[in-house]
Amino acid sequence: MTDGTEKIRCDACPVMCYIAPGQTGACDRYANDAGRIVRTDPVVMLSQAMEHGSRIVPFAARDWTGDPLPADSFVTGIGSGTTYPDYKPAPFIISSEVDGADVVTVVTEAIFSYCGVKVKIDTDRHLGPEGAIVRSEGEAVGLVTTAEYGSQMLSLGGVHHLTGGTKAEGRVTCAAMLALCNGEAVALSIDGGSTVVVQAGQAPIVDGRTERRMRVGCGSATIGMFASQWLGLVDEVVVVDDHITGVVSEHQAGKVLGWQPTGIRIKGSRSTPGRYFRVSEPGLGWGGTCLTDPLEILGEWNAKKGARPGLRLLMVSTTGEEYGYYVLDQALIPQKQPLPAALQATVGLIDENCERSLCTVLFMGGAGGSLRAGVTSNPVRLTRSVQARQTRLTSGGAECYIWPGGGITFMVDVTALPKGAFGYVPTPALVAPLEFTMPRNDYLQMGGHFDAIRDLASVQDRGGEYPTAARIEPWPGKGTP
């Protein structure tokens, strides 16, 4: 404490700002309030008893006469303050009773230099080659990784982008990750590929076009699902796909149904009957290819193998968004015709079976460093307890996936956390909420900070190291314990 007229040093992160009265530090998370450091955001508490909305309750206000906290209130790491420097106990170590068992929850805001985000983008469009650099504001912030079934994947952030490059690279990387983790839209560009606007829980925007559907499957899978729907309505179906283009008359599904040969020839690498690779370069056209005219993948039709004038051909993409209906003329050349109503229904069925195109953002961090000292005097015991699932790790109340192997490496869906759950420090690094919950006896046996354990009433009465208020919110739709 000072007389409130001079700058004071904040020790909540390694930057250690000197903050003038009435001002905040570089992170905007801590301020100088009349000579004491306070947390600018309230601690977020979650309760299933809260059906909607939220309410603010004071901390460290002994004369408060308002309603008591809901009995199921769960104190999250959001707004709790940090353990930096990590030799001191976490901001809140709370004892409670859950289903008749005595448990302890250790609550903190963790500073992560070793962190990143994994982004799943539901689209058939080609965003860029694997390994291509992903940029935000022109700075490298990550790379394209291996595509998954109906989705393109990006890996952003990480310690090398945050601290291993230029100051601009670290600043932009931190800002992009913070925005993504807090549910905001971020524009990214991919070297040798597309621009894409990513926002968790929203449809991606690829080169200015909002994606509507992710593909129902590859071309082969689409035939396997819908071959019976086409039987008797058309003589040949080609499902155009950047990965595996399917041809129904050659496909095993077609053979089982008794489909007759058509003499079709596909320009591509034949894998197994009715399945073709590399029919086109990847792009923004039909089925993630660069095609705007699907007839480009067809060679000459073979009359000796079933081609004939009047043969009916349907070509369709894996989302049903692109399709064309053709009839072979006397020279065995496909001529485009209006799509018959009966086939329109089958194209609509493909569309109906496609799922909504969304962006998924997973925060990934390594919590195996010194922040564990805020939980226990013997940090490796916390790691082993988390790995053994004896200690439950949550982030802002949301369930986490714990990676096997050494350390505490976890991932969490950012949409499962309350809004604004993530912060930053200008080292640069992200700040993420963490809660470690375990049986009380286990906590004591791992060398937990016994003297720092308090019950919920004491937490509200005394507050934390950094004075703040608390906000009670309903549990988000995901992550309820």
Distances (CA, A) of 101 to 132, 439, 442, 460: 51, 7, 12, 22
Beta pairing, strands 30-33 & 36-39: antiparallel
By CB atoms closer than 10 A (0-12, 13-18, 19+), residue 186 is buried
- For the record, the structure tokens of 7 come out as 């700058």
Residue 209 has a pLDDT of 92
pLDDT at 480: 41
pLDDT on residue 461? 77
Give the pLDDT of residue 1.
Answer: 46
Q: Locate 388 and state its tokens.
A: 């053994």
pTM recorded for the entire structure:
0.88
- Give the Å distances, CA to CA, from 159 to 111, 174, 182: 12, 10, 20
Buried b (16+ CB within 10 A) or exposed e, 431-460: bbbbbbbbbbeebeebebbeebbbebeebb
Ordered per-residue pLDDT tens for the chain, 481 residues:
455 678 888 877 778 888 888 889 888 878 888 788 888 888 898 988 777 778 887 776 655 666 677 878 899 999 888 877 677 899 899 998 877 789 999 999 999 999 999 999 999 888 999 999 999 999 999 999 999 888 999 999 999 999 999 999 999 999 999 999 999 999 999 999 999 999 999 999 999 999 998 989 999 999 999 999 999 999 999 999 999 999 999 999 999 999 999 999 999 999 999 999 999 998 889 998 999 999 999 999 999 999 999 999 999 999 999 999 999 999 999 999 999 999 999 999 999 999 999 999 999 999 977 889 999 999 999 999 999 999 999 999 999 999 999 999 999 999 999 989 999 998 899 999 999 999 999 999 999 999 999 988 888 777 777 777 788 888 876 444 4
In the chain, the amino acid numbered 335 is Q
Q: What tokens were used for 261?
A: 């040969």
Q: What is the pLDDT of residue 479?
A: 40
What does the pLDDT read at residue 481?
A: 41
Task: Name which of 107, 104, 97, 98 is nearest 45 in CA terms.
Answer: 107
Residue 352 CA, chain-centre distance (Å), reads: 25
Closest CA relative to residue 69, chosen from 94, 41, 90: 94
| Residue 263: predicted pLDDT | 97
Nearest to 37 by CA among 22, 57, 59, 56: 22
Nearest partner of 190 among 159, 224, 221, 153, judged by Cα: 153
What CA–CA distance (Å, rounded) separates 225 from 251?
Answer: 12
> Radius of gyration of the chain from Cα atoms?
29
For position 62, what pLDDT does the model report?
A: 57
- End-to-end CA separation in angstroms for the chain: 39
